[in-house]
């Protein structure tokens, strides 16, 4: 079909829609028409189409059928809506999987997986790369001029690893390119330990838990393989549709993917996030963790708008206990993303399927197919509200005064080391001791009203007042020099336990921790680390009081002054929080994983000492958070009650107008219902 290309208009409002699977309903042509009607009623602007549609597009090798997709694309264009057209590599056709078994992954035990499931193709397979490129080329050729095409949704939630011989050979070649010689590799991996010295590249396995250097490089290699596969998928898309942006959906703090590297190769940052409904007393803490992930996406986009490509308007079906979202929680999750810079909100999924693994997963349209459900009515109301927020679509998020580094390589290096302490995260967010420490400090800063930008180790942090380094375990000499220069020129750095233990190959620094030439900056010497049972606490006394858990370092002052000391254990009286003047700046060190009261006390002290500005000059109650974002009409504020309890906010003499109703002004004492969100003019 020959289409006359029309320019995709500049995004004039927030994109709003869902993953849509019309290929599953080809036997019911009336469903497409009904869906178009319901989408218009709900304020939908766009849909991701074709994510798991490979067999519907190519039922036999080299035989293509596009009629069903033509109808979908045409109807969306006629309705004035857009399509985020997916490349279908996220799940393999059965004919491909059975005819070419080498595209199926091999597990760590050497067993090849059967056909089925999803996200499980071998990243090194030439066959799979060739077949994916072929179908992508066909899609780009056919729809390159179609007016509904607004975005390429490249594959879906890339993840996992393969240990086949092809991947092993590719890993060995990757190592040879990285190290050059076996002598250099053996030195980097400290392979003489347990007599693991390699004398030939072919001896190197893909999995050996006794070699932390190998494990770290394997994670890097798998990440690079994903990026390579993604970039190869985009080649025909960018050649044939250079004006159509490409993205893929990230998964927040997913353990096996270094999204800072991925972000360099996509045109739009996009993420999937499913904060599971939680009606416990600490539900607001989970909401702040969702903010952390949104801030991570905002950091990857350089403060520019990003896309929430998957969330659920209701419950999921894979969470063990799949609670419904309480009234207000769904709207709040959407506005959270918008407040943190999202320009797109898409759900998984638009319409519930009749069968399969996700037939009970939340959707805008339930099995009854009507517009009368609570969820549909919620979604329609949100669609109307997002349409009224069109002034936000080109607005960036204000740059914060405080930056925090989140580093997958530090996470990997700590997790692949045998010790210091394993700690599994809790709740819906993939986590570990490294990420839990980052969450802790982000929550404390948020509760103090301090906005935070999340950065990578390669980001420019020179313009910030404060740089926070939670458990930055792997720290290069080059980054150490940048941190030293930051402090010397007047910045304040906050580092925690487990900072600068190892260099890039996971070898420990010599000369005492922190390494990377940072001992003089912090004015301390970290002698040893105490790993505590889960129910053990260490008292903290001094200018900051509270308790510490999980890990506590024994540090010695070497120029720094002690702000707080241990009040229990054999190291009672020894420094736990220090401060060191260095050049024109200050370096603080927190030698434990502190519980929240101590962290709040520390950051409230920092707020005053560093003359930081709060997001809003109010003392907000527990569970209430304020965010702001720029728009074409000025700054917009979002006041959230993340708690499942009512909260009172004392505005005092401050007064703010409702964004959508300027005649309504909030001042004095206002009450926020559970999960209530208000949008304000700042």
Q: Kindly give the pairing relationship between strand 647-658 and strand 677-681.
A: antiparallel
Q: What is the pLDDT of residue 137?
A: 98
pLDDT at 10 over 80: no
Taking the C-alpha atoms of residue 588 and residue 272, their distance in angstroms, rounded to an integer, is: 35
Omega within 30 of 0 (cis) for the link into 213? no
pLDDT at 11 over 80: no
| Residue linked to tokens 């004919």 | 95
Among residues 447, 587, 613, 579, which one has the least CA distance to residue 517? 587
Question: Looking at residues 186-195, what average pLDDT do you find?
Answer: 95
Q: Which position among 310, 409, 443, 574 bears the catalytic label?
A: 310
pLDDT at 534 over 60: yes
Please say whether the dihedral angle defined by the alpha carbons of residues 133, 139, 145 and 150, taken in this order, is positive or negative.
Answer: negative
pLDDT, one tens digit per residue, over 391-414 is 898 778 889 999 999 999 999 999
- What confidence tens digit (pLDDT) does each residue in 300-322 have? 999 999 999 999 999 888 777 88
41 is catalytic: no
Residue 310 designated active-site: yes
Give the β-pairing of 402-405 and 538-542.
unpaired
Residue 406 near residue 467, CB atoms below 8 Å = no
Report, as an integer, the average pLDDT of 366-392: 95
Burial class (CB in 10 A: 0-12, 13-18, 19+), 297: buried
Which pLDDT does position 308 carry in this prediction? 97
Average pLDDT over residues 450-478: 97
- Alpha helix positions (H), 315-370: 329-339
Tens digit of pLDDT for each residue in 46-74?
999 999 999 999 999 999 999 999 999 99
Mean local confidence (pLDDT), 353-364: 90
6, pLDDT greater than 60: no
Q: How confident is the model at residue 2 (pLDDT cuts 50, 70, 90)?
A: very low
Q: Return the SS3 of 504.
A: coil
Enumerate domains of the chain plus CATH numbers. 45-268 (3.20.20.80), 402-609 (3.40.50.880), 624-681 (2.60.40.1180)
CA dist 609 and 453 (Å) reads: 20
Separation of CA 360 from chain center: 25
Least reliable range by pLDDT among 103-107, 212-216, 325-329, 375-379: 325-329
Percent of the chain with pLDDT over 70: 97
pLDDT, one tens digit per residue, over 644-667 is 999 999 998 888 999 988 888 888
Helix (H, G, I), strand (E, B) or coil at 352: coil
Sign of CA dihedral 452, 458, 463, 466: positive
- Tokens (6 digits) for 538: 């260490």
Q: Which two tokens stand for residue 610?
A: 């560093």
DSSP 456: -
Q: What is the pLDDT of residue 252?
A: 95
φ/ψ of residue 668, rounded to 5:
65, -135
Return the closest-CA partner of residue 423 out of 514, 498, 499, 504: 498
Distances from the Cα of 185 to the Cα of 169, 189, 217, 234, 449, angstroms: 16, 6, 11, 33, 47
224's tokens: 């690079």
Per the structure block, which two tokens stand in for 306? 């990003």
Give the active site residue among 157, 233, 553, 676. 157
Kindly state the percentage of the chain with pLDDT values over 90.
Answer: 84
Q: How does pLDDT run across 630-649, given as a tens digit for each residue?
A: 888 888 999 999 999 999 99
Q: Are 68 and 50 in contact (CB under 8 A)?
A: no
**Calpha distance 185→378 (Å, rounded):** 57
Please list the alpha-helical segments (H only) found in 7-107. 29-42, 54-57, 67-78, 94-99
Residue 280 has a pLDDT of 66
pLDDT of 1 reads 39
**Least confident range of 312-326, 477-491, 515-529:** 312-326
pLDDT in the model for residue 430: 65
pLDDT over 70 (residue 424):
no
pLDDT bin (cut points 50, 70, 90) of residue 516 is: very high
Check whether 249 has a pLDDT greater than 50.
Answer: yes
Q: Which residue shows structure tokens 């050996």?
A: 208
pLDDT of residue 279: 66
The pLDDT, as a whole number, for residue 227 is 97
28-41 pLDDT, tens digit per residue, is 989 999 999 999 99
- Which two three-digit tokens encode residue 391? 């002034």
For residue 542, pLDDT over 80 is answered with yes
Distance CA(580)–CA(557), nearest Å, equals 10
Q: What is the pLDDT of residue 55?
A: 97
Q: In the prediction, which pLDDT does 395 show? A: 77
């Amino acid at each position: 079909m020959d289409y006359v290309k029309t320019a995709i208009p500049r995004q004039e409002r927030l994109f709003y829609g869902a993953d849509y699977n019309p290929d599953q309903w080809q036997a019911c042509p009336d469903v497409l028409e009904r869906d178009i009607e319901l989408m218009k009623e709900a304020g939908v602007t766009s849909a991701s189409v074709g994510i798991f549609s490979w067999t519907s597009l190519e039922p036999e090798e080299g035989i293509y059928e596009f009629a069903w997709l033509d109808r979908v694309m045409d109807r969306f264009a006629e309705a004035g809506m857009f399509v985020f057209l997916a490349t279908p590599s996220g799940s393999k056709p059965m004919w491909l999987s059975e005819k070419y078994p080498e595209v199926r992954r091999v597990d760590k035990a050497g067993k090849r997986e059967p056909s089925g499931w999803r996200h499980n193709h071998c990243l090194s397979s030439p066959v799979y790369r060739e077949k994916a490129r072929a179908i992508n080329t066909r899609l780009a050729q056919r729809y390159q001029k179609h007016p509904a095409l607004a975005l390429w949704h490249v594959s879906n939630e890339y993840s996992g690893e393969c240990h086949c011989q092809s991947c092993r050979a590719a890993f060995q070649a990757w190592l040879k390119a990285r190290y050059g010689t076996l002598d250099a590799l053996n030195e980097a991996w400290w392979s003489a330990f347990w007599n693991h010295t390699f004398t030939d590249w072919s001896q190197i396995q893909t999995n050996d838990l006794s070699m932390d250097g190998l494990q770290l490089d394997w994670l890097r290699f798998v990440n690079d393989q994903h990026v390579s596969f993604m970039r190869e998928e985009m080649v025909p898309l960018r050649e044939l549709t250079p004006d159509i942006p490409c993205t893929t959906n990230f998964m927040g703090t997913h353990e096996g993917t270094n999204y800072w590297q991925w972000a360099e190769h996509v045109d739009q940052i996009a993420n999937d996030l499913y904060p599971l409904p939680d009606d416990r007393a600490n539900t607001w803490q989970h909401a702040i963790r969702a903010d952390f992930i949104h801030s991570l996406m905002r950091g990857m986009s350089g403060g520019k708008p990003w896309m929430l490509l998957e969330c659920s308007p209701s419950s999921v079906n894979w969470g063990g206990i799949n609670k419904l979202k309480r009234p207000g929680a769904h709207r709040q999750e959407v506005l959270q993303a918008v407040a943190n810079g999202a320009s797109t909100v898409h759900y998984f999924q638009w319409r519930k399927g009749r069968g399969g693994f996700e037939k009970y997963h939340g959707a805008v349209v339930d099995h009854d197919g009507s517009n009368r459900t609570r969820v549909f009515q919620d979604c329609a109301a949100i669609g109307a509200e997002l349409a009224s927020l069109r002034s936000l679509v080109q607005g960036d998020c204000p740059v914060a005064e405080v930056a925090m580094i989140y580093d997958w390589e530090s996470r990997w290096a700590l997790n692949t080391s045998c010790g210091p302490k394993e700690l599994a995260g809790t709740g819906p967010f993939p986590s570990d001791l490294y990420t839990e420490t980052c969450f802790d400090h982000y929550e404390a800063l948020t509760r103090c009203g301090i906005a935070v930008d999340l950065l990578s180790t390669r980001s420019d942090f020179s313009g910030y007042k404060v740089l926070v380094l939670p458990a930055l375990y792997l720290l290069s000499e080059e980054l150490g020099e940048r941190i030293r220069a930051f402090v010397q020129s007047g910045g304040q750095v906050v580092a925690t336990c487990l900072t600068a233990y190892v260099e890039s190959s996971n070898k420990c620094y010599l000369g005492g921790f922190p390494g990377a030439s940072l001992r003089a900056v912090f004015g301390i010497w970290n002698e040893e680390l105490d790993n505590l049972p889960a129910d053990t606490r260490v008292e903290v006394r001094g200018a900051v009081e509270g308790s510490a858990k999980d890990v506590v370092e024994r540090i010695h002052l070497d120029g720094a002054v002690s702000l707080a000391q241990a009040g229990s254990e054999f190291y009672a009286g020894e420094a736990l929080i220090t401060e060191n003047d260095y050049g024109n700046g200050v370096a603080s060190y927190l030698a434990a994983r502190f519980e929240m009261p101590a962290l709040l006390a520390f950051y409230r002290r920092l707020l005053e000492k560093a003359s930081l500005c709060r997001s809003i000059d109010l003392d907000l109650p527990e569970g209430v958070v304020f965010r702001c974002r720029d728009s074409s009409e000025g700054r917009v504020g979002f006041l959230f009650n993340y708690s499942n309890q009512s909260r009172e906010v004392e505005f005092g003499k401050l007064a703010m107008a409702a964004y959508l109703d300027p005649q309504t002004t909030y001042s004095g004492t206002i009450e926020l219902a559970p999960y209530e969100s208000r949008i304000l003019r700042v």
